[in-house]
Structure 1
């Protein structure tokens, strides 16, 4: 039973380590947290997990989350234009179908009412603060509750211990600067970490100043709907991250985290200039001013208790507030020429306020023929969502007046709580690893001014997971799992209401009786690890039901208008396969020391089981290959990479509205990055991206577009661009 006892010693070491990183303990394999909510050797995890660490983010000069995860198979982040990236897409499902957490704090749901003047996304995370991003693929609600229908993205920012020596007093200080041609932006980051006795502190401040992300240079630089260049914006942001941890004694450690993020954008919406929505009703003087803000405070406590009930307890409480303020300006002709309004400001503000509590207990139990790592805990989250809409008339016959506008959903409050238990069990001298988990969640939502039309909504869910890994040899293992996911209806799902002022048109009724959307996933895979690298292959099938979709109730509601609502009416399936390798070519083929390669391939198919149509959010076949080198002293190196994506056209799109979606052509993009350390403490990095100036579209940016849609070039990705960075560690 030697191996099992070593496992117990390692677990106790991890729980007692305090600031020690998991990599300091598991030197023989990578450690992940997202798949089990506790540190586990990735070879013992019965699921697909991708990891992007701070070194990879720096190596790729990634400036946002979309760039950070761009090379991971089966994962993307849609979004372009004024409102930026919307949310993660994991294996064909996007946004609120993917759980996103930062330092254990659940991020609010994205809000997209469809109008071009309001979005509220919650993925403006500063990459210079990130230590690692873990992407857990497949339903994960048995661990993370609602929204983990397609998977979970677990993000951890840097801690002082990530930058300081393992023991003793120490100070770390660095400055980093960079320029990136895709958005003509400059960046400056200052980092300071310190350990004095039992107190550890960290400060990271980043300032960015730039412009809109460019589209391909071939697009027309004109005004109007056929504009092919991105609308010009001035954009700047500031992010401040503060952390402090204090080791009270051998058993207790407390921590405090504060973060403030602010992004401002001001620009001209030239793509709307001269837009005639109907005869005589022409938009001019189009501009916008946006501000996105986020602040959070977290207090946490770890207790190495070693009691009968648990060995280790970590609990934390968080206050999180995020706000999106959008101001859109335009002018339309006044009566009698038209029924316009003159020059106005459309204010569209949205605020999420959340209070969160999370507690997790861990217990290691050694039996005669097995070893168990049991985790159990509770989550409780309250959320307030408020919309403040108003039109201000600045010039013209209405000058000096304003009108309160009704938001798409009423201001509302919601409560989510859940309890979970999980067992990571080791049998047969750790050759067999079994993971079983169970969770119960309850969700309630209620408008602040409840009525018969907007009553309180309640739902709950019981989700489970069962997975196993078998180590056939020290190098070869296989795994399989069955897991469930669910997504409680969002406030937008439950209470969205719309009625046109025109005599005809449509009425959209709220439906507070919606049920949670559900999924069950099946996955199996192989892992092969040798001293020359790692090869992973997986196949999966995910089945979804109770999907919430828009449904027409009547062609005439008795007032000459169509009547629409949302209902749980759709079923879908998504299946596919992924291959990922990392090879040390010097070990494998006797190539020059330091030469390596990365490769991945992702194949996904999806279908609406109600009508047989394809799912628009499912990605086409994609592949990635990189050849890299770093000298033995890690003084210089570089990487050449190619990402190839197949086209998406014809039956690959749903075409459910009776019109054919424009095809997204296939493409291959080549990037080149390099680094050089002329001094021990100075690192220079440079990158050339889309080296051959390929004109291409991300398929996500063409969903819903037809061949007649104006301004398709405005949806292209940047052409050839470059970036440089310099970092000095004091």
Structure 2
């Protein structure tokens, strides 16, 4: 049985093999053009076509995944969406699901996520509380079936994505009624879709309705998902405690509504309304956490995202702009985690053991944002200029609460309701920005230049109250400004050969957690004078600034009617990383510190405390390959490959770097274009022990993770069949060869030998973090 281990050799042969197994699974039509055949026009109405989507970024390293590809690959979530994109992964934080993406070793809030230009809220995930697994606020709330496209941007592009676009960004665009309707005239489209996935027993039901009646266009997409925990490789006997080999049971349900109404006011004017309502609930039973103290431990977690907006578009065609778009959106994100425990401890009220206990955590974020965007295309002196510019303003309100309840035994009699100190205070965050980007095409497009500039201003106003105390006196208003920029050039050295280069600066504004996570002090006495003082333990830092990145990349692309081959190398330098550091104030002063009873006192020189600071620097370098070939009219081959490595300021490796990986895809489209078959072979290198260590202050080098992932190769087979012109069947067999394997992005957080913390395993307990064995997914869609 394969398990994660630290022993693996790196060789040029392994690198070459991985390079030949790389990935992209977009349809062959991306090179060949529209699908031919008498039924093509009817068949393409069943689902939104991939080529409806357009890239938002002007960078040269962008992967655009359209709705049709997501559908063909039976993508349930974002982990599935990036399955065949080497170097990109989704962060799994266990009970609370996914928390954003990892791109080029950066993760969570350091990778921006936007939906129709609106940024998702920040996470709230204090490191000191993660082992308890009571609450971890995530950045979810978007359903795959509501999306027209998923755009993966590698490298900094704050012009497109704003804060968080350090090593990359994910830009999501929701579907529109026009994606399904004829170009003109009254029209109606309706479809229903059902799906099933064996690895999580998830069932899917989705309905889409689009209509144009006169000057009104409308869209409604409803999606319901129900499922359980994702299976591990084998079905081991059920057991409790850290040695449990199968995942803890959970039940997951989600409902998503996307509604849009557009009023076509004339040939040049359009007014649109949008509503998104996304609710998900997870009920879990942490059997792997049970021990002599915890007899029962369950979770009831909810994540809701509601968004309402209005949009106005004017196709003016004047000297200043061709089109202007203004929009206002309000987004509310609520995350809650309720943990119930049957607890056997001497701390039980009235000494009645075991006793019931609950921990209730809640985090709310509301975002009000307005943006105006202009674009203009014009010719001047034999050059073509594509200009876009705009401005935005947003206000975000954050609020947290925490309530602990204790009961007498299991009677339901409440003896204590304790409102814990808030992790963060109620905070208002305002931001305004200005941006402009221009693309200049010279000599008929043979030479191109692009440049962008953005300016952001941030103001944070915390509002401490009775639930958030600041004994240190360090919490206060914070303001700062962040200029960012982007430059790029490309040159066709031959009709099919292009050299390109780009450099850009990205940024991430501090989160409310970064700035204001709970401060604390300890009473002390100045030894020389006897004066009573508060000694700092942890404090806020009013001088905290935005994190920054400088991304440099060069590449070559060979592209013709039936082939594409591209390679790029990059170096990303990240600075101002926000980390907790230890500092000392008044180092020459002696302080007398006593225990709670006052019976024992010690004298310490200097006041040692922790605080967030812009202290971290990281350099990430890497290479990426991509290729596509039309072998003949019906057969196409694609591959992609990613290898990167990162180093911190002290020389330690960046542990979040995903091992080198690649995918090889072979696709056959039947001459009738009524069915297709795709095979995708994914290969990942092992995580080396030398790439997952950390150096202590005294120079001691220790592993940063108890487990390492081994290399693996997995084969998936996908098929799509139009049973009739309106009925489409998708099927996939994943991990066809039934390979047992572990992914680094999951096992890197697992601890060894401790069942009292989240992720703790003993013995064969690591098996519950293995990926599913052979599994299938199917879906059936009918268009009326």
**TM-score, normalised by the number of residues in structure 2:** 0.83
Matched, 1:696 2:741: yes
Give 1:140-179 correspondences, 5 Å limit. Answer: 140-179=157-196
* CA distance in 2: counterparts of 1:595 and 1:219, whole angstroms: 41
Report the equivalent of 2:142.
125
Matched, 1:323 2:334: yes
Matched, 1:457 2:503: no
Structure 1 portions without partners, runs of 5+: 1-26, 37-45, 277-281, 587-592
* CA distance in 2: counterparts of 1:631 and 1:61, whole angstroms: 20
Report the equivalent of 2:307.
296
Q: Which residue of the other structure, out of 107, 123, 129, is the alignment partner of 2:120?
A: 107
* CA distance in 1: counterparts of 2:634 and 2:521, whole angstroms: 64
* CA distance in 2: counterparts of 1:546 and 1:360, whole angstroms: 30
* CA distance in 2: counterparts of 1:336 and 1:614, whole angstroms: 43
* CA distance in 2: counterparts of 1:267 and 1:314, whole angstroms: 44
Check conservation: 2:728, 2:780, Cα contact below 8 A.
Answer: yes
Q: Which residue of the other structure, out of 456, 471, 474, is the alignment partner of 2:492?
A: 471
Check conservation: 1:145, 1:418, Cα contact below 8 A.
Answer: no
Check conservation: 1:459, 1:488, Cα contact below 8 A.
Answer: no
Write out per-residue CA displacement over residues 12-59 of structure 1, whole angstroms, 9 at most, x where no aligned residue. xxxxxxxxxxxxxxx9999743213xxxxxxxxx52000111111111
Give 1:574-613 correspondences, 5 Å limit. Answer: 574-586=620-632, 593-608=633-648, 610-613=649-652
Q: Which has the higher contact order (CA 8 A, sep 6+)?
A: 2
Matched, 1:216 2:233: yes
3-state DSSP of counterpart to 2:739 = coil
Number of matched pairs: 681
How far residue 292 of structure 1 moved from its aligned partner, in angstroms, is 0.9
Matched, 1:431 2:446: yes
How far residue 714 of structure 1 moved from its aligned partner, in angstroms, is 2.7
Matched, 1:416 2:442: no
Report the equivalent of 1:489.
510
* CA distance in 1: counterparts of 2:502 and 2:145, whole angstroms: 35
Report the equivalent of 1:685.
730
Q: Which residue of the other structure, out of 707, 712, 727, is the alignment partner of 2:781?
A: 727
* CA distance in 2: counterparts of 1:192 and 1:31, whole angstroms: 19
How far residue 333 of structure 1 moved from its aligned partner, in angstroms, is 2.6
Report the equivalent of 1:16.
none
* CA distance in 1: counterparts of 2:93 and 2:779, whole angstroms: 24
**TM-score, normalised by the number of residues in structure 1:** 0.89
3-state DSSP of counterpart to 2:494 = coil
* CA distance in 2: counterparts of 1:134 and 1:502, whole angstroms: 52
Report the equivalent of 2:223.
206
Write out per-residue CA displacement over residues 263-302 of structure 1, whole angstroms, 9 at most, x where no aligned residue. 111121111111x5xxxxx122111111111110110011
Report the equivalent of 1:253.
270
Give 1 or 2 for the bigger CA radius of gyration: 2
Give 1:336-485 correspondences, 5 Å limit. Answer: 342-396=355-409, 399-449=414-464, 452-485=473-506
Give 1:488-567 correspondences, 5 Å limit. Answer: 488-497=509-518, 507-553=537-583, 558=593, 563-567=609-613
Q: Which residue of the other structure, out of 663, 674, 691, is the alignment partner of 1:624?
A: 663
Matched, 1:675 2:720: yes
| Change over 3 Å in CA distance of 1:578–1:190 after alignment to 2 | same
* CA distance in 2: counterparts of 1:336 and 1:478, whole angstroms: 68
* CA distance in 1: counterparts of 2:550 and 2:209, whole angstroms: 45
* CA distance in 2: counterparts of 1:316 and 1:336, whole angstroms: 54
| Change over 3 Å in CA distance of 1:128–1:500 after alignment to 2 | farther
| Change over 3 Å in CA distance of 1:425–1:558 after alignment to 2 | farther
Report the equivalent of 1:637.
676
How far residue 185 of structure 1 moved from its aligned partner, in angstroms, is 1.3
3-state DSSP of counterpart to 1:492 = helix
How far residue 126 of structure 1 moved from its aligned partner, in angstroms, is 1.0
3-state DSSP of counterpart to 2:95 = helix
Worse overlay, 329-338 or 302-311? 329-338
| Change over 3 Å in CA distance of 1:531–1:30 after alignment to 2 | farther
| Change over 3 Å in CA distance of 1:705–1:501 after alignment to 2 | farther
* CA distance in 2: counterparts of 1:259 and 1:121, whole angstroms: 18
Aligned alpha-carbon RMSD (Å) = 2.6
Check conservation: 2:113, 2:161, Cα contact below 8 A.
Answer: no
Report the equivalent of 1:6.
none
Report the equivalent of 1:659.
702
3-state DSSP of counterpart to 2:91 = coil
* CA distance in 2: counterparts of 1:375 and 1:534, whole angstroms: 29
Worse overlay, 365-374 or 347-356? 365-374
* CA distance in 1: counterparts of 2:385 and 2:625, whole angstroms: 31
| Change over 3 Å in CA distance of 1:557–1:497 after alignment to 2 | farther
Check conservation: 1:623, 1:645, Cα contact below 8 A.
Answer: yes
How far residue 501 of structure 1 moved from its aligned partner, in angstroms, is 11
* CA distance in 2: counterparts of 1:112 and 1:337, whole angstroms: 28
* CA distance in 1: counterparts of 2:592 and 2:735, whole angstroms: 52
Write out per-residue CA displacement over residues 441-483 of structure 1, whole angstroms, 9 at most, x where no aligned residue. 1111121228633101112111111101112333221211110
Report the equivalent of 1:184.
201
Q: Which residue of the other structure, out of 57, 65, 70, is the alignment partner of 1:35?
A: 57
3-state DSSP of counterpart to 2:768 = helix
Q: Which residue of the other structure, out of 289, 292, 307, is the alignment partner of 1:272?
A: 289
Write out per-residue CA displacement over residues 518-540 of structure 1, whole angstroms, 9 at most, x where no aligned residue. 11111111122112122221111
Give 1:25-64 correspondences, 5 Å limit. Answer: 32-36=54-58, 46-64=59-77
* CA distance in 1: counterparts of 2:522 and 2:636, whole angstroms: 63
How far residue 685 of structure 1 moved from its aligned partner, in angstroms, is 1.4
Q: Which residue of the other structure, out of 747, 762, 768, is the alignment partner of 1:714?
A: 768
Check conservation: 1:376, 1:421, Cα contact below 8 A.
Answer: yes
Q: Which residue of the other structure, out of 304, 321, 325, is the alignment partner of 1:310?
A: 321
* CA distance in 2: counterparts of 1:293 and 1:124, whole angstroms: 6
3-state DSSP of counterpart to 1:128 = helix
* CA distance in 1: counterparts of 2:384 and 2:186, whole angstroms: 37
